[in-house]
Structure formats: structure tokens, C-alpha cells
Amino acid sequence: GFKCGIVGLPNVGKSTLFNALTQTAAAQAANYPFCTIEPNVGDVAVPDPRLDTLASIAGSGQIIPTRLTFVDIAGLVRGASRGEGLGNQFLANIRECDAIAHVVRCFEDSDVTHVEGKLAPISDIDTIETELMLADLDSLEKRAAALEKKAKGGDKEAKELLDLMTRALVLLRDGKPARLVDVKPEEEKTFRMLGLLSSKPVLYVCNVEEASAKEGNALSAEVFARAAEEGAKAVVVSAKIESEIAVLPAEDQKDYLEAIDLEEPGLNRIIRTGYELLKLVTYFTVGPKEARAWTITAGTKAPGAAGVIHSDFEKGFIRAETIAYDDYVKGKGEAGARDAGRLRLEGKEYVVADGDVLHFRFAN
Ligand code: GDP
């Protein structure tokens, strides 16, 4: 599954938000199997009203949402890349994540100490980003030194890798994140394998005071501008509100949200924006037994999508019976959609679209 690391300076509301996210997910998913794997790792059901609609049309006995894993990565402080705090351990945790949710303090509260002494989201962002870049610089310099000999000896693979690493190093030495490296399509896999922290997609989570939960405030506006500059994404939440919502049963959550004029919990917005950031799409498998959502990266072809369910589905893939979500709903189910001529037989080259209802045919 996809993993999102929650980072930020101390006292910005990471733990409050993490606990709220996992509890809200548990309440929303009252009927779904749910687990918190470890105290700092939460497996969150991705809220998707389409799945409920499909299940009710098909009379599915069980609803199984797709999941996103959140990891609360505490302890990232100035100096982490030099091993300050519990530095290296935390950097290693980030390395395993597909994306970073960077919580930024945008709320005033004289009772909550600001670790840097003043409220300054952009400089807080720079502090964290600098640690990530320094860690990358350090790891790349070490690895590049070892590769140089091989590259000089005529090892073609080593030479190509070194070339990619050198382009990243040039940026990092200039104080720029590795996400700005111009990666050729054929280098993408290798680049990902380098596991550079500053190359991970970032979602800024602006933690604002309750009154600004809907529109944000002047500080969150600064963060949004910064996100736009660097091709990142940003959302506004109030961790305090989220933690109050989290302890309510699902039906009361709606009333509470209405009372404060919010359309949905911050969790939903974070997940949705996270999906956009990671270019993820959802497809569905629907039957009388269960309706289930699955996550793939945009651009995945039918066999790869089948492989998310089981590797045998991918190996023996023959075709995918495909109905677009809207057609499934209009046809009031598979039979109706088929009668309306909306069931397509798609082959190996078909790129699965968001919302597709799929039925895989495969040979063992
Ligand atoms: P972390 O160190 O980033 O994990 O921060 P915590 O979640 O432990 O929060 C640090 C302190 O800030 C706690 O006392 C929280 O109650 C408080 N806090 C967190 N979010 C908010 C918020 O949205 N508003 C206010 N006023 N306080 C908050």
C-alpha cells in the first residue's frame, strides 16, 4: 500500500492530527475492518462515497475500502541530518514513505511553545526541508565516491547512475530539493530507488486556529503560495477541530461539521489531496459478496491493476470486463450496463481509468 509520513517541527500538532486521522477513520469505517498497526502507524480507510453506492446497487455483503497508511514521524528537528535529536532514525522512516505530509504551525497559542521561538511557517518549512536536503547530500556524496571508480573502469550502469546522482548533487549543493531534478522517463525507477528525501512529493498541512478552519488565515496563505511555487499541494485543517470530530460517532460527525460550516472532516481533504499529489486512482471490484476499492497509480494498464489483487491475475491476464462508474450507476448494475452496451472488453494495453468497475478474466 501507499505510505504517507507526517513530518514537521515539534509542537506543530502532528500527533494531535495523526490521532485524529486514525480515530476519525475508525469511526467513519465503523463497518470496515480497521487497525492501527503500531502506535505511530495508522492504516486509514480511504473515504469514497462511490464505493457505498456500488455496494448498495449490487447488494454486496461487505464493503472493503482501499487504504492509505500514515506514519507519525516525530522528532525531526534542526540538526537531524547531523544526528541531533533522534535524527537518523527519523530520516530512515521518511525514506520508506511514498509521500510527505508536512504539518506547519499556522495557529497562535501562547500556551504552546514554538520550538523556533516565533510563528513563521515559511522559515519552519525551510528548516525541515534543509534537514532533508542535507541528509540527501550526505548520502549521495558517500555513494558517489564509491561509484566513481566503477564508472571510470567503464561500467556503463555505474556511469549512468553517477550521472543522475551528479545532477541531484548540483541542485542540492545549491540548496534546492532533489524533486527538481530533470529525470528522464527511463531513469525514473532508478531515481525512486535512490530514496532521496527531498524528492518525495509534499503535501503541506496548515494547522490553523479553529476560526480559520474553513478559509485559512494569512499564514496558511503564505504556505499555499509556497506550495504553488514548488509544485506541491497544501490543505488547511484545524487539528483541534479534527480531534474533537474524531471522538464522535459517524452520524454525529456530520451534525458537528454542519454546525461549524465544514463540508467534511480534514481527513477526507488530506486523503483526496494526497491522491492527487501521488497521482493515484481508484478502481472497483463489485459483486454480491463484496464491493471493494483498489488503488493504483494513474497510467497503470489492466494487467498491472489486476496484479494489485493477486500476482496470478497479472500473470494469467486475459481481459478486463470494464464498466465506467457512471455507466454502472445508470444501468443500476452490471446486467443493466451490459444491456445498454456499456460493458467493454479491454485488453493488455488498456489504461485503467479512475472509477472503473472491473472484472478480470485470467488463466491459471
Ligand atoms: P507535535 O509535537 O507536532 O506532535 O505536536 P502535538 O500534536 O503534540 O501538539 C503540541 C501541542 O500543541 C499540544 O499541546 C496540542 O494540544 C497543541 N495543539 C495542537 N494542535 C493545535 C491547534 O490546532 N490549536 C491549538 N491551540 N493547539 C494545538
| Complex prediction ipTM | 0.93
Which CATH number does the domain 128-198 belong to among 3.40.50.460, 2.40.50.100, 1.25.40.10, 1.10.150.300?
1.10.150.300
- Summarised one tens digit per residue, pLDDT across range 51-78 is 999 999 999 999 999 988 888 887 666 7
- Please name which of 274, 280, 286, 272 lies closest in space to residue 325, comparing C-alpha atoms: 286
CA 27 to chain centre: 21
322 is annotated as contributing to ligand binding: no
Atom of ligand 1 nearest to the CA of 8: 3
Q: Which DSSP symbol is given to 80?
A: G
What local confidence, expressed as pLDDT, does residue 115 receive? 73
Say which residue, 109 or 349, is predicted with more confidence.
Answer: 349
- In the chain, ranges of CATH 3.40.50.300 domains: 2-48+62-118+200-277
Q: Is the pLDDT score of 31 beyond 50?
A: no
What local confidence, expressed as pLDDT, does residue 108 receive? 83
Among protein residues, the one whose CA lies closest to atom 14 of ligand 1: 112
Among protein residues, the one whose CA lies closest to atom 22 of ligand 1: 240
- Summarised one tens digit per residue, pLDDT across range 80-90 is 666 665 556 77
- In the chain, ranges of CATH 3.10.20.30 domains: 299-362
Q: Is 157 helix (H, G, I), strand (E, B) or coil?
A: helix
Q: Is the pLDDT score of 40 beyond 90?
A: no
Which CATH number does the domain 299-362 belong to among 3.90.1310.10, 3.30.420.40, 3.10.20.30, 1.10.760.10?
3.10.20.30
Q: What is the mean pLDDT of the chain?
A: 89
| Residue among 108, 111, 112, 124 to mutate when testing ligand 1 (max atoms within 8 A of CB) | 112
Atom of ligand 1 nearest to the CA of 108: 26
Q: Is the pLDDT score of 180 beyond 50?
A: yes
Report how far ligand 1's centroid is from the alpha carbon of 272 (Å). 23
Say which residue, 18 or 92, is predicted with more confidence.
Answer: 18
152 is annotated as contributing to ligand binding: no
11 is annotated as contributing to ligand binding: yes
Show the ligand 1 pocket: residues with CB < 6 angstroms.
8, 10-16, 74, 107, 109, 112, 207, 209, 238-240
- Please name which of 134, 127, 53 lies closest in space to residue 91, comparing C-alpha atoms: 134
Report how far ligand 1's centroid is from the alpha carbon of 159 (Å). 48
Say which residue, 78 or 295, is predicted with more confidence.
Answer: 295
14 is annotated as contributing to ligand binding: yes
- In the chain, ranges of CATH 1.10.150.300 domains: 128-198
- Summarised one tens digit per residue, pLDDT across range 99-132 is 999 999 999 887 887 777 788 999 999 999 998 9
Q: Is the pLDDT score of 27 beyond 60?
A: no
Report how far ligand 1's centroid is from the alpha carbon of 302 (Å). 44
Atom of ligand 1 nearest to the CA of 107: 24
Contacts of 8 (CB under 8 A, 6+ apart): 14, 76, 102, 103, 104, 105, 124, 128, 205
Among protein residues, the one whose CA lies closest to atom 20 of ligand 1: 13
13 is annotated as contributing to ligand binding: yes
On whether the 2-48+62-118+200-277 domain is CATH 3.30.70.890, my answer is no
How far apart CA 94 and CA 71 sit, in angstroms, is 9
What local confidence, expressed as pLDDT, does residue 35 receive? 44
Q: Is the pLDDT score of 247 beyond 80?
A: yes
What local confidence, expressed as pLDDT, does residue 83 receive? 66
Mean pLDDT of the region 248-261: 88
What local confidence, expressed as pLDDT, does residue 36 receive? 45
Q: Is the pLDDT score of 37 beyond 50?
A: no
Q: Is the pLDDT score of 26 beyond 80?
A: no
16 is annotated as contributing to ligand binding: yes
- Please name which of 19, 30, 43 lies closest in space to residue 253, comparing C-alpha atoms: 30
The grid coordinates listed for 358 are 472491473
Any idea which residue has 522517463 for its cell? 185
